[in-house]
């Protein structure tokens, strides 16, 4: 039912966390972060079977995938807002960007 393997999800989560924190704290190793240590302990704890506590067979993988998608969406949103909040465009720039031509601006004196 669930397509991604646990290891692939763990790698994706680690990548998103590394991208999220890469600019904030320089060269600190990702394994030294409390969130990553917690994530690894949860993966180790649920290694035997995801149905250990009467959960659905893919619930832990679904939770991990949901969190990874959330982190990725936050990163993309931050990148887009950083890119597009630099300056406000003029009407002429916006028209040029989408392929419209504005009528000539003839002032009557």
Q: How far apart are the first and last CA of the chain?
A: 73
* Distances in whole angstroms, Cα of residue 8 to Cα of each of 13, 26, 56: 9, 26, 20
The structure tokens listed for 68 are 């990874």
Q: What is the mean pLDDT of residues 27-39?
A: 78
Stronger pLDDT, 32 or 49, i.e. the higher one: 32
- Torsional sign, CA 7, 35, 31, 15: positive
Domain spans, the chain: 6-98
Percentage of the chain exceeding pLDDT 70: 75
pLDDT of residue 87: 74
What pLDDT score does 102 carry? 84
> Has residue 29 got a pLDDT over 90?
no
pLDDT at position 1: 42
């Amino acid at each position: 039912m669930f397509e991604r393997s646990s290891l692939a999800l763990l790698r994706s989560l680690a990548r998103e966390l590394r991208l999220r924190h890469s600019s904030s704290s320089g060269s600190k190793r990702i394994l030294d972060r409390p969130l990553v240590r917690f994530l690894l302990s949860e993966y180790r704890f649920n290694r035997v079977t995801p149905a250990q506590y009467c959960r659905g067979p893919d619930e832990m993988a679904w939770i991990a995938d949901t969190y990874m998608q959330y982190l990725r969406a936050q990163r993309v949103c931050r990148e887009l807002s950083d890119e597009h909040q630099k300056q406000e465009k003029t009407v002429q720039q916006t028209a040029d960007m989408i392929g419209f031509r504005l009528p000539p601006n003839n002032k009557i004196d």
